[in-house]
Amino acid sequence: MKDRNLNVLIITRSEWDESNSSGNTMSNLWGSYNVNNLANLYCRGTLPNNRVCKKYFSISDKDIIKSTLFMNIKPGKQFEIINEIGENEVSNKNEEKIYSFFRKKQSTLAIWGQELLWGLGRWKNKNLKDFLNNFKPDIIFFPCNTYLYMHKIVWYIQRITNAKVVLFHTDDNLNYGLSKNIFNRINRRLIAKTAKKSSLNAALNYCISNKQMTEYSQILNKELKILYKGADFLKDPDFKELPNDILRMVYIGTTSYGRWKTLGLLANVINKLNENGKKIELLIYSQYEPSDVAMKAMIIEGASSFLGKIPSEEV
């Protein structure tokens, strides 16, 4: 980012929290950018937790529901906050319970219900327009995801601000998938169609691997670039010797998008290797509790364990 005077609006679904993988990635990418030229619009009611950004606009599902029931409710609020890590770790537990419930059930109908609420919710209002008029974004940076309403928010803001859009593809959202469930197949097609429209509208598309770059370039007939996280390699890594001969394999990140299936296959291989004595164990860390189906596939006693959320500084 050569021009430090450009205002960048980062649009995410969740709050910018450095203690999870997505928030840590955002801080890694934008940590050296001028804080006065950064803002984050997100679609949760919980507070952010990072040292990089101070300007925010929040729209929550709870506010969207209220706006469909009461005409005087206009969802969305802008605020500023200067964070020290740890200040905002206590968040809206009731809201998180709702999200956890739908994540565990993995119901396509529930996802469509959420999309319907956002379609009815009156988020295109004065609150959002005032925020955009105050910040005046030049660039919209959007980590591409599976939520259709998030793409519609990007399209709307792009249209009324004329800001250039930069998409960051970290998961495969352009392919249809091979689910046997008719609802899942329809949903995957909707996601792929929507993500493709966003990608074609974008001035620049980033991805995270050469394979993804090749496949997406063919699908979109557009050039993509690879964007990696940065790291400090000047210091030698601080390795710790294990107290025994057990090799620990660690996975940190989401278990969604079918990743739990791959982790399940790996756990089964480890289980077979451990038949004559424990040699390897797989430790799985994720900020969100996986679905019951995912847990059953991934977790094998003596081979793999799910350990929940881990702060980024402990990784």
Report pLDDT digits (tens) over 293-312.
889 898 999 889 998 877 66
Tokens, residue 8: 């960048």
Q: Count, in order, helices (H) and strands (E) of the chain.
A: 10, 11
Measured between alpha carbons, how far is 37 from 135 in angstroms, rounded to an integer?
Answer: 8
Would 239 be classed as within a structural domain?
A: no
Residue 234: inside a domain: no
Is 135 in the same domain as 283? no
**pLDDT higher for 145 or 104?**
145
Task: For residue 201, tell me if it sits in a domain.
Answer: yes
**Is 120 part of a structural domain of the chain?**
yes
Residues 88 and 128 in one domain: yes
Among the candidates 226, 259, 293, a domain finishes at: 226
Task: Please tell me whether residues 167 and 289 are part of one structural domain.
Answer: no
Length of the chain: 315
Q: Give every CB contact of residue 170 below 8 A, 6+ residues apart in sequence.
A: 25, 143, 144, 207, 208
220 and 269 housed in the same domain? no
Check whether residue 266 and residue 185 sit in a common domain.
Answer: no
User: Quick one: 89 and 196 in the same domain?
Assistant: yes
Residues 15 and 71 in one domain: yes
Residue 237 lies in a domain: no
Indicate which CATH number applies to the domain containing 78. 3.40.50
Query: How many structural domains are present in the chain?
Result: 2
Question: What is the extent of the structural domain holding 300?
Answer: 247-314
Query: Of the candidates 160, 193, 226, which is a domain's last residue?
Result: 226
**Full-model pTM:** 0.82
Instruction: State how beta strands 38-42 and 8-12 pair.
Output: parallel
306 and 203 in one domain? no
- Residue 25 structure tokens: 């990635």
**Confidence band for 87, pLDDT divided at 50, 70 and 90:** very low
Q: Mean pLDDT for the chain?
A: 86
Whether residue 2 is predicted with pLDDT greater than 60 in this model: the reply is no
- 8 A C-beta contact, residue 80 and residue 55: yes
3-class secondary-structure state, position 285: strand
49 and 103: one domain?
yes
Tens digit of pLDDT for each residue in 10-62?
999 999 988 877 888 999 999 999 999 999 999 998 999 899 999 999 999 99
Instruction: pLDDT band for 227, please (50, 70, 90 cuts).
Output: very high
Last residue of a domain, one of 174, 194, 226: 226
pLDDT at res. 96: 60
Lowest mean pLDDT: which of 82-96, 177-191, 200-214, 228-242? 82-96
